[in-house]
A = this chain, B = another copy of it.
Amino acid sequence: MSEPDAPGGACPLPLRHDHIELAHGGGGRLTRDLVERLFLPAFDAVAPRDLHDSACFRAGDSELAFTTDSYVVSPLFFPGGDIGTLAVYGTVNDLAMAGAEPFRLSAGFILEEGLAVAMLERVVHSMAAAARAADVKIVAGDTKVVERGRCDGLYVNTAGIGLCRARLAPGAIEVGDAILLSGDLGRHGVAVLAQREGLEFETTIESDCANLAPLVRELLRAGVSLHCARDLTRGGFATALGELSLATGLDFELDEATIPVHAAVQAACELLGLDPLYVANEGRFVAFVPERDVMAALDVLRRHSPAEAASVVGRVVRSRGARGQVSLRSRIGGIRLVDLLSGEQLPRIC
C-alpha cells in the first residue's frame, strides 16, 4: 500500500478510534483502518496491496479460494432479495471475483431468542434455493442462540471454498486496461433503505442481488484476458475502484456519462442525500480487461443476465501522483476526485 501512513508489517499504527463506530463496518476508510492496522498485522496475513475478495492458496494438490462474510442486513427481507439470498450470492461472488469456481459453503447462524421459526425457515429455504441456482452445496453449519435484545432477529455467516480457475488479482491490472461495469448502480442500497424506512417511491426499486459467477465463467471461457474483477458491495463502485487504485498505484479515469444509474435510483438518492457511486450493490462488478478484449468482453456480458447493460466506464493510466487515484469526468465536464467511502452512508446494508 502506498499510503505513507500505513506501512503495514512489523509496527502497525494504532487505530484511529477508541470505540467501534458503525462506520467500522461500512466498507470504507474505517473498515480499512481495522484491516490494515489490526487484522493483517495480527494474523500475519497478506500485505494490504494483495488483499482481494478471497484468499487463494494451494491445499494439497488443489488451488483453492476461501472467503467469509457475515450478513446483518436490516430488514431481513427487502424487494428483490433477503438475507438468505445475500448470504449465498455474496460469498459466491467473492469467490468468483478471485477467478474461482464456487464449490462449497458453510452457514453459521446467530439467532435471537423469540425469533419466529417461520422466519428462519424462509431464510433457510431462500439460502437453499440460491445455493441450488449457484450450483454450490452448503455442507457445514452451526447455530447459536442469544437472549432477546442481544441480536436483531438473525445474523448469518457464510464461508466459501472455490476451485481456482484463473488468478484474478489487483496486481494484474495494467496501464491501458479498460474498466467495464456490468450494470447500473445503487439498486441494492436504495431497495434496503426504502424497505427499512418505509419509503415509497413511484417505482419499487428491487435489489440487484445476483450470482455473478456465471459472468466471470463466461468471460474466461470466451478467452477474455480478464486481469481483475471486483464486485461492488459496501462502499459501492467508488470505494471498490478507490481500493484497487490504491492497491495498484495506478490512476483510473472514469467518465460519469457512461456510468448507468436508473432514474428511480437517481431520484431516490437525490431525495435521501446519497451518492449512487457509494451506494451498495450486490449484483454488479467491475472488470479490468486489455483494450484488445473489450469488444469480446462486452459481447459476452451483454448476452448474460444481469449484465445486459454492461459498458466501458473508464481506463487505467499511469499515476501522476505518489499514489493511485480515481478521477471522474462529470457530465458537465469538470473533473472530480473519487475517494473511498468516508464515514457510514448506510449501516447494515448487507
Contacts and interface: CB of A to CB of B under 8 A. Distances in A.
Interface of A: 15, 17-26, 31, 34-35, 38-39, 42-46, 54-55, 57, 59-64, 66-72, 103-104, 106-118, 120-121, 124-125, 127-128, 131, 137-147, 149-152, 155, 157, 159, 161, 163, 347-348
A45 B70 CA distance: 22
B60 A61 contact: yes
A59 B64 contact: yes
B55 A140 contact: yes
A291 to B, nearest CB: 33
* This chain's copy number in the assembly: 2
16 contacts: A19-B115, A20-B113, A22-B147, A24-B145, A25-B111, A35-B143, A43-B124, A46-B139, A57-B139, A59-B103, A67-B140, A68-B107, A68-B141, A72-B110, A144-B348, A161-B161
4 A-B pairs closest in CB distance: A25-B145, A159-B159, A60-B62, A61-B61
A173 to B, nearest CB: 21
- Most chain B beta carbons < 10 A, residue from A21, A24, A35, A137: A24
A140 B60 contact: no
A107 B169 CA distance: 21
B146 A348 contact: yes
A4 B212 CA distance: 43
Contact of A114 (B20, B70, B138, B159): B20
B19 A104 contact: no
A152 B137 CA distance: 31
B19 A117 contact: yes
A43 B128 contact: yes
Contact of A72 (B60, B131, B144, B149): B144
Contacts of A147: 22, 347-348
Given A124-B39, A161-B59, A25 B144 contact: yes
B108 A159 contact: yes
Contacts of A39: 107, 124, 141, 143
A69 B143 CA distance: 8
A232 to B, nearest CB: 16
A68 B25 contact: no
Contacts of A106: 66-68, 159
Contact of A42 (B68, B125, B163): B125
Nearest to A126: B42
A317 to B, nearest CB: 32
A335 B120 CA distance: 40
A333 B106 CA distance: 45
A55 B103 CA distance: 13
Contacts of A44: 128, 137
A111 to B, nearest CB: 5
Contacts of A104: 55, 57, 59, 66
